[in-house]
Amino acid sequence: MSEIEPRHVNYFDKQSNLLYKMHEIQRAVNNYIIRSTEVRNEHSLSYGAQIKQLTGMSKKGAQ
């Protein structure tokens, strides 16, 4: 009986460790997604501003 108990405890220890690692990975992935989205938004905003600037200039030029 005493032989089974350590294995049982060890199994749950490994299980919780795996769950913790999965949680860490998930958190890292979420942070990466948030960061990449923020960067993409910054790029699209600056790109949109460039287009507005260009179209504004072209409209002024056309007038």
Average pLDDT value for the chain: 73
DSSP string, 13-33: HHHHHHHHHHHHHHHHHHHHH
- CB neighbours of 4 closer than 8 A, spacing ≥ 6? none
Average pLDDT for residues 26-32, to the nearest whole number?
91
Does residue 5 carry a pLDDT above 60?
no
- CB neighbours of 52 closer than 8 A, spacing ≥ 6? none
Domain count, the chain: 1
Average pLDDT for residues 40-51, to the nearest whole number?
73
pTM: 0.43
Range of the domain at 61: 1-63
Predicted local distance difference test score (pLDDT) of residue 11: 60
pLDDT band at 41 (very low <50, low <70, confident <90, very high): confident
Eight-class DSSP state of 35: H
Predicted local distance difference test score (pLDDT) of residue 9: 56
